[in-house]
Amino acid sequence: MGIETVITELTSFLGQRLSRSKSDLELHGQSETHFPLMPPDAVAYPENTQEVAEIVRICARNQVPVIGWGVGTSLEGQAQAPSGGICVDFVRMNRIRKIRQADMDVTVEPGVTREALNEELRATGLFFPVDPGANATLGGMASTRASGTTTVRYGGMRQNVLALEVVTADGEIIRTGSRARKTSSGYDLTGLFIGAEGTLGLITELTLRLQGQPEAVASAVCAFPSIKHAVAAVIDTIQMGIPMARIELVDVATVQAVNAYSGSELAEAPHLLLEFHGSDSGVAEQSQSFGEIAESHGGAGFDWATKAEDRNALWAMRHNAYHAIKATRPGAQVLVTDVCVPISKLADVIEETLADIENAGIYAPLVGHVGDGNFHTSMMWEKGDDDQLATIEAASHRMVERALANGGTATGEHGVGLGKKRYMDREHGPGWAVMGAIKQALDPDNIMNPGKLVPPRN
Amino acid sequence: MGIETVITELTSFLGQRLSRSKSDLELHGQSETHFPLMPPDAVAYPENTQEVAEIVRICARNQVPVIGWGVGTSLEGQAQAPSGGICVDFVRMNRIRKIRQADMDVTVEPGVTREALNEELRATGLFFPVDPGANATLGGMASTRASGTTTVRYGGMRQNVLALEVVTADGEIIRTGSRARKTSSGYDLTGLFIGAEGTLGLITELTLRLQGQPEAVASAVCAFPSIKHAVAAVIDTIQMGIPMARIELVDVATVQAVNAYSGSELAEAPHLLLEFHGSDSGVAEQSQSFGEIAESHGGAGFDWATKAEDRNALWAMRHNAYHAIKATRPGAQVLVTDVCVPISKLADVIEETLADIENAGIYAPLVGHVGDGNFHTSMMWEKGDDDQLATIEAASHRMVERALANGGTATGEHGVGLGKKRYMDREHGPGWAVMGAIKQALDPDNIMNPGKLVPPRN
């Protein structure tokens, strides 16, 4: 094991920016999940691409693992270090390099968070639309192929990254894509690194597509008699071509939690929360069209708001849903699982999942980006109650199996990490071995985030 | 060379569906370009995936090249057979397997053409939006990462393919993606095979996203004093978030050719042709907003039409532009080159290209999908005039160099094939070797469309 050599060499050029403090190792060995601590041997804080390349070259020579780190908001243990090694924390690479208004693109370092970017863009009339909820870094969002509430309109990271700079497993710096809006020039390496979770290289720069801030924004909320009615309304809305910017489902348990947390008085029924972007008359028309669709599916209490304060209250409620849910069981732990299915299967899969959860005696509010067929459960248990955890893990497993059996995917937006690796074979069949062959070709010594995503080496 | 063994084995199970007729070999050795004939040794006509897999396995055992064939409309010699081998023509795999209205997706065999698909979809209220002009097969469009006039609104093939079935170089059948609208589950193999031009495997099935047919469609045409004025109007239109379905530039030479061919009376100036999709009031508003933008940039003669016959006349004119251009020089040959640049560079790059073309004494009308920064020239020469061909090739080369020097790509939508391979190193640098490593991993014997796209083997 060359870890001591690596630490000596890294210290010689990073100095204080290589940390072995216990608190740093623990912080970078944690995750948002229930996995045990898996700390790296050291944490490096590079300030530029050349330093990242040098870190990787040193690790490559000594066959020591390299794991990237944004702000640690990934949900499947993607950035934990099960084999130790060097964690590369991008917090010091957080510069916005260039905003190009005419081209509606921006070049950023990987440690920039999406909120910091949008704050910087505010005065330009542009914004970056991908919103996974957490204030993640853009490098992390690309690496996990994040998406979120606005994906139904603007796409996720895969659709919104034009170009990357990547340090590969041998410490070489490559560029993928360009600032041209489209290309047919060679293999889509940009797409390959997006969602690779750092197993093929470290992203050191991103060029992102931006959107114009809409002239008008309206929000709406509507209660439905059942999940089936709500999803039927979503399907009609999409078929009609109404360009919703967000269309979110919250189930009864989430509504109860939100009412208790925010003091809102939503009816205890499944709700859809929507946002419309466009011109003044455009959002009015969209809202009205949706209102008619909702009514035809038993929607009640439909209300829409263009005033910023009303909209903000509505979306604060949605964004706080996770906190509201946690507040119902102070001190409890949460296992968050996400799956995604064809939208025609969505109502059945959600209803079966809710019935299963109820039968198992689990408390697990459900929210969904229903325009994409994607939903999450937050299954809760008391810390230390291993039986309850086992019950929850079994229910989470059945939820994934149910999604796969219905033509869906084991994860719509949270990624594979450690938590979903067991489903890769089932979901991809021989395609998983193709992923393994690509990994073997680009990282023959298996130093880039080893133990994640691809099949184990023989 | 195991070609005779391969032909014997293939004949034994394909019978008459393995062809060695001279006309078949010549047809499948041609391209839309000026490249010389490069025929395969035989043409196979499989009827299902199992047959494709068996063809590839036989070729793999004998290290004989395998080249896919749709309808031969690719523009860079992608389907020619410079090393001979077996051409796999997908004409008999042209079934539409399943249209799913609620999910707005469709599963097709690779030999289905886009017009055949849209004909079949007409009664469903759905359509497949990608329109590269030619009535190409969907397998071919995926393999070349095609896009076209509607990409500015709906995206190209990369954005509109959900899942693939692929026969890999060892004859294994894999599935990539799923019918879920989004996923974070593993490497994006779907994206990797899209644009790989058959060098990593043969696509045997595609699941595509569909769009709802818009309630209303409007078209518009507008003359501008210069390319710069027209492009400035496009930039403002995009910044405003006006969701044009198409926004096409035609230069003066194209207008002249179209007037002569179609009997239209457009002013001899650069024009933008636009299409708007939406609700009745939405397209009216979009058209009006664009009209105001156009006027502020010197646009003249702005006119918009919602009547189907007027719209069809306008777009027939655009679709016939290539024929109109060819009709100006009966019997002449055409070299079509496409590049794509950041939109802020587009006006300069186009004007420099037109000046260069004029200086070189070349006749080369120019059209562009300007919302994406993508444009094409059709450089014409008299057959047999090798000096003129050399002049044209040099100008085409400078056009690509100019695009690359301006942060663009060597091809926005036509692909690499044989024609653009020389630019891969320049455009991708060490990223090209990464493409080579992927090819080596997935096709170690280099039997899948050899000689295209990736670096030569050592």
Give the C-alpha separation, A343 to B332, whole Å. Answer: 52
pLDDT digits (tens, 9 = 90+) for B188-246: 999 999 999 999 999 999 999 999 999 999 999 999 999 999 999 999 999 888 999 99
User: What six digits make up the tokens of A282?
Assistant: 């455009």
* B17: closest CA of chain A, how far (Å): 29
The helix (run of H) or strand (run of E) holding residue A4 is: helix A3-14
pLDDT digits (tens, 9 = 90+) for A123-138: 999 999 999 999 999 9
B405 at the A interface (CB within 8 A)? no
Give the C-alpha separation, B364 to B371, whole Å. Answer: 21
B426 falls in which pLDDT band (50, 70, 90)? very high
pLDDT digits (tens, 9 = 90+) for A61-78: 999 999 999 999 999 999
User: What six digits make up the tokens of A53?
Assistant: 């390349």
**Which residue on chain B is closest to A340 by alpha carbon?**
B180
User: What six digits make up the tokens of A147?
Assistant: 């998406």
Contact partners, residue A50, CB within 8 Å, separation at least 6: none
Helix H, strand E, coil C: the string for A386-446 is HHHHHHHHHHHHHHHHHHHHCCCECCCCCCCCCCCHHHHHHHHCHHHHHHHHHHHHHCCCC
User: What is the predicted pLDDT for the residue at A313?
Assistant: 77
Give the C-alpha separation, A451 to A85, whole Å. Answer: 12
B443 at the A interface (CB within 8 A)? no
A304 falls in which pLDDT band (50, 70, 90)? confident
| DSSP bridge pairs for B67 | B87
User: What is the predicted pLDDT for the residue at B307?
Assistant: 78
B212 at the A interface (CB within 8 A)? yes
The helix (run of H) or strand (run of E) holding residue A281 is: helix A280-296
Contact between A330 and A260 under an 8 Å Cβ cutoff? The reply is: no
Give the C-alpha separation, B56 to B88, whole Å. Answer: 9
A401 at the B interface (CB within 8 A)? no
Contact partners, residue B160, CB within 8 Å, separation at least 6: B128, B129, B130, B154, B208, B209
B411 at the A interface (CB within 8 A)? yes
Check CB contact under 8 Å for A431 and B175: yes
Check CB contact under 8 Å for A434 and B282: no
B103 at the A interface (CB within 8 A)? yes
User: What six digits make up the tokens of A222?
Assistant: 């509507």
Q: What is the DSSP string of A20-45?
A: --HHHHHHTT--SSSPPP---SEEE-
B458 falls in which pLDDT band (50, 70, 90)? low
Judge whether residue B316 has pLDDT over 60. Answer: yes
Alpha-carbon dihedral sign for residues B133, B138, B139, B143 = positive
pLDDT above 90 coverage of chain A, percent: 89
Judge whether residue A1 has pLDDT over 60. Answer: no
User: What is the predicted pLDDT for the residue at B1?
Assistant: 56
Judge whether residue A47 has pLDDT over 90. Answer: yes
Three-state DSSP at B175 gives: strand
B107 at the A interface (CB within 8 A)? no
Q: Which of B350, B337, B347 is nearest to B397 (CA)?
A: B337
For B227, what's the count of Cα atoms within 13 Å in the CB-facing half-sphere? 25
Average per-residue pLDDT for chain B = 95
Number of residues that make up chain A: 458
Give the C-alpha separation, B403 to B410, whole Å. Answer: 7
Give the C-alpha separation, B175 to B183, whole Å. Answer: 14
* B209: closest CA of chain A, how far (Å): 11
User: What is the predicted pLDDT for the residue at B447?
Assistant: 98
Burial class of residue A47, CB neighbours in 10 A (0-12, 13-18, 19+): middle
* A282: closest CA of chain B, how far (Å): 7
Give the C-alpha separation, A2 to A412, whole Å. Answer: 38
A172 at the B interface (CB within 8 A)? yes
B264 falls in which pLDDT band (50, 70, 90)? confident
Contact between B370 and B350 under an 8 Å Cβ cutoff? The reply is: no
Give the C-alpha separation, A341 to A54, whole Å. Answer: 42
Give the C-alpha separation, A89 to A68, whole Å. Answer: 6
Q: How many CB pairs under 8 A join A and B?
A: 282
- Best of A124, A181, A190 to mutate (most B CBs within 10 Å, chain B): A181
Judge whether residue B95 has pLDDT over 90. Answer: yes
**Which residue on chain B is closest to A187 by alpha carbon?**
B196
Give me the mean pLDDT over the B276-300 stretch.
Answer: 94
User: What is the predicted pLDDT for the residue at A370?
Assistant: 95
In whole angstroms, what separates CA A61 from the centre of its chain?
33
Burial class of residue A224, CB neighbours in 10 A (0-12, 13-18, 19+): buried
Three-state DSSP at A260 gives: helix
Tell me the chain A residues in contact with residue B409 when contact means C-beta distances shorter than 8 Å.
Answer: 178, 180, 182-185
Give the C-alpha separation, A357 to B384, whole Å. Answer: 75
Check CB contact under 8 Å for B343 and A103: yes
User: What six digits make up the tokens of A348?
Assistant: 């059945």
Tell me the chain A residues in contact with residue B146 when contact means C-beta distances shorter than 8 Å.
Answer: 184
Phi and psi for B366 in degrees, rounded to 5? -130, 135
Give me the mean pLDDT over the A301-327 stretch.
Answer: 82
pLDDT digits (tens, 9 = 90+) for A246-282: 999 999 999 999 999 988 888 999 999 999 999 999 9
A287 falls in which pLDDT band (50, 70, 90)? very high
User: What is the predicted pLDDT for the residue at A260?
Assistant: 93
Contact between A403 and A329 under an 8 Å Cβ cutoff? The reply is: no
CB atoms within 10 A of CB B179: 23
| DSSP bridge pairs for B105 | B100, B209
Give the C-alpha separation, A39 to A47, whole Å. Answer: 22
CB atoms within 10 A of CB A12: 10
Give the C-alpha separation, A81 to A41, whole Å. Answer: 9
DSSP E strands, B315-397: 333-340, 366-369, 374-381
Q: Which residues of B25-42 are buried (b: 16+ CB within 10 A; e: fewer)?
A: bebbbbbbbbbeebbbbb
Judge whether residue B159 has pLDDT over 90. Answer: yes
| DSSP bridge pairs for B207 | B107, B163
Give the C-alpha separation, B133 to B156, whole Å. Answer: 13
User: What six digits make up the tokens of B70?
Assistant: 């749709």
Tell me the chain A residues in contact with residue B282 when contact means C-beta distances shorter than 8 Å.
Answer: 282, 285
User: What six digits make up the tokens of A221?
Assistant: 């909320």
Give the C-alpha separation, A15 to A183, whole Å. Answer: 42
Tell me the chain B residues in contact with residue A372 when contact means C-beta distances shorter than 8 Å.
Answer: 180-182
- Best of B98, B151, B185 to mutate (most A CBs within 10 Å, chain A): B185
Average per-residue pLDDT for chain A = 95
Residue with the two structure tokens 């109650």: A385
**A 131-170 residues with CB < 8 A to B:** 144-147, 151, 155-156, 158-159, 168
